[in-house]
Structure 1
Amino acid sequence: MFKITTFSAILAIAGTLSFSHAALADEDIPPSDEAVKKIEETLAKIGCKGGDYDAEKSGIYEIDDAECDIGPYDIKLDEDFNILVMSRD
């Protein structure tokens, strides 16, 4: 028969918790209409438009494939619509 040791039980629990944590990670959700308006205002200020918008539960907004005057970019905004990251796509 199988003998469960304390160590193997701890490993099983740790593995389960790590999968649970991944499931609870920030999921992308569509931003509200008001947020979309503010995102578009922020993008316009820096010469960008378009892209795919997502909101994370943590309050971060992601803009994928924004078309900017200086080329395509992926952009992250904080909950106040300030730029956190802008990376060339």
Structure 2
Amino acid sequence: MRLLALAAAIALPTAALANDWDDQPITDAERASVMAALEAAGCTSPDSIERDDNGYDVDNARCGDGVYDIELDRDFTITERDRED
């Protein structure tokens, strides 16, 4: 009985970690929504799109005035742009 309780105590935190937002792969629908937001801002061709704690992280998007790392929230709103060049 104690062994079962110990196993459950170990499994619960492990399961919680597996469901962390930023540990999940980005879906095709999410990627399309991120790309739509980028295109609306005049940006294309990012090197990568990943989930992060607050939404999405885009590396090296090519925009009309330079290359940017861009962060979007979970509603696909751009929250930060950092020029890379």
TM-score, structure 1 normalization: 0.64
Matched, 1:47 2:39: no
Aligned equivalents of 2:62, 2:26: Cα separation in 1: 19
Q: Which runs of 4+ in 1 moved over 4 A?
A: 26-29
Counting only pairs closer than 5 Å after superposition, residues 15-34 of structure 1 correspond to structure 2 as: 27=22, 29-34=24-29
Matched, 1:72 2:67: yes
Task: Report the RMSD for the aligned CA atoms in angstroms.
Answer: 2.1
Instruction: Say which one has the larger Rg.
Output: 1
Residue 82 to residue 34, structure 1, CA distance change in 2 (3 Å): same
Where does the alignment leave 5 or more consecutive residues of structure 2 unmatched?
1-16
List per-residue Cα deviations over 1:50-88 (Å, max 9, x = no partner).
1110012x3410000000111100000000000111010
Is the 1:29–1:54 contact (alpha carbons within 8 Å) kept by the matching residues of 2?
no
Report the alpha carbon displacement of residue 30 of structure 1 after superposing the two structures with TM: 3.3
1:60 matched residue in structure 2: 55
Q: Secondary structure at the match of 2:70?
A: strand
Where does the alignment leave 5 or more consecutive residues of structure 1 unmatched?
1-23
Out of 55, 73, 83, the residue aligned to residue 78 of structure 2 is: 83
Counting only pairs closer than 5 Å after superposition, residues 7-18 of structure 1 correspond to structure 2 as: none
Report the alpha carbon displacement of residue 44 of structure 1 after superposing the two structures with TM: 0.5
